[in-house]
C-alpha cells in the first residue's frame, strides 16, 4: 500500500474533464486505486464515483494504491492533480 496526500488546485475540482483525465490515468495501472475524502474511499477508476465524490478546489484528498505498480500510480495521479490538469 502506497499513498500521498494532495490538495486539489484547479478551479473546477474533480468534475467533468479533470475527472475524466484522472480516471483515464488511473485505468493505466494494475493496482487498486482509491481517492480518500473525509474518510470515504472512492474508486479512482470509476468516473461516476469520482464525479459523485464532490471533490472541489482546495479539498485535501489522499490518493492510495495497492498492487504491483502502486507507487507509479500514486505518483502519476498526484502529478496530474498538481499540474491542475493542464487547465491553468
**Catalytic positions, written as ranges:** 15
Q: Say how far apart CA 9 and CA 27 lie, in whole Å.
A: 22
Positive or negative, the Cα torsion across 54, 57, 59, 64?
Answer: positive
Q: Which of 30, 50, 32, 31 is nearest to 42 (CA)?
A: 50
Amino acid at each position: 500500500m502506497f499513498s500521498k496526500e494532495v490538495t486539489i488546485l484547479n478551479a473546477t475540482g474533480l468534475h467533468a474533464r479533470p475527472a475524466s483525465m484522472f480516471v483515464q490515468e488511473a485505468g493505466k495501472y494494475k493496482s487498486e486505486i482509491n481517492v480518500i475524502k473525509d474518510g470515504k474511499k472512492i474508486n479512482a477508476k470509476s468516473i461516476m464515483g469520482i464525479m459523485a465524490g464532490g471533490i472541489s478546489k482546495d479539498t485535501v484528498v489522499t490518493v492510495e494504491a495497492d498492487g504491483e505498480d502502486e507507487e507509479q500510480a500514486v505518483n502519476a495521479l498526484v502529478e496530474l492533480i498538481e499540474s491542475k490538469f493542464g487547465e491553468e
